[in-house]
Amino acid sequence: MTTENAPVRHAPPADGQPMLRLTDIHSYYGNIHALQGISLDVFPGEIVTLLGANGAGKTTTLRTIHGLLRPKRGAIEFEGKDITGMPAHEHVGVGIGQSPEGRRIFGRMTVMENLQMGAYSRKDKEHLSEDYERVFEFFPRLRERTNQAGGTLSGGEQQMLAIGRALMTRPKLLLLDEPSMGLAPILVEEIFSIMTDINKQGTTILLVEQNALMALGVAQRGYVLQTGRIVQSGPAQDLLNDPEVKRAYLGG
């Protein structure tokens, strides 16, 4: 496994410009140098996954992309526009949605109210009903629980609600942070199946996930992070077959 600080970018088969591009990103928590030169691309229509152990920098990468943590060096481009200094609340307007680690739904609000919060900043109110319906088609259990408080849902249902709330922003790029965390295997399979359906309908996905086997099973490409650096990248199938990746993340 290479430890180059600036790995070769692996483009997808089709030509075109990346939807998201990170170039030499350095982010800090106080004096802790959390991201040490992250460069990656996500192309329209892809599922790209970030793999790595706890503390590798996966969630920090998503927080930096989403404007919750401003990098001290480097550039973030979305659809060719520099968004490095864009405040987090403006990301929804350009087409970036996020389902955060730990779900972070509004526990005292109903399922419907949580979904409404996802659409809060939208100006195209005339399209909201069709987007509620789209969420309910992906997650039928949410339809059955529209008036139930979010905090009383099961872990799997809360994850569905977190993703549904993010979909209500109508994202071009959906950031998913550990969607399988704390879920039973059968629910993990369901969430990942729905994730691929969301992608097939045209939403590009950047996925942070510790379940490397599931993540590489749905992604086209992946990046492996280790202590704030990208140490490997490439097509998902190549990473699945890589001996170092197998040893470190797949139990091989």
Structural domains of the chain ordered from first start: 20-105+171-249 (3.40.50.300)
Q: What tokens were used for 75? A: 């550039």
Q: What span, in angstroms and rounded, lies between the C-alpha atoms of 81 and 172?
A: 14
Q: What is the mean pLDDT of residues 41-67?
A: 94
Q: What is the pLDDT of residues 11-53, one digit of tens each?
A: 444 558 999 999 999 999 999 999 999 999 999 999 999 999 8
pLDDT (0 to 100) of residue 121: 73
Q: What is the pLDDT of residues 100-109, one digit of tens each?
A: 776 678 778 9
193-197: Cβ within 8 A, 24+ apart: 194/138, 194/139, 194/160, 194/163, 195/47, 195/163, 196/47, 197/138
Q: How confident is the model at residue 128 (pLDDT cuts 50, 70, 90)?
A: confident
Q: Is the pTM of this model over 0.85?
A: yes
| Contact present, 231 and 2 (Cβ < 8 Å) | yes
Q: What span, in angstroms and rounded, lies between the C-alpha atoms of 248 and 140?
A: 37
Percentage of residues in the chain having pLDDT higher than 90 = 63
Instruction: Compute the chain's Rg from CA coordinates.
Output: 18
Closest CA to 179 of 152, 150, 158: 158
Percentage of residues in the chain having pLDDT higher than 70 = 91
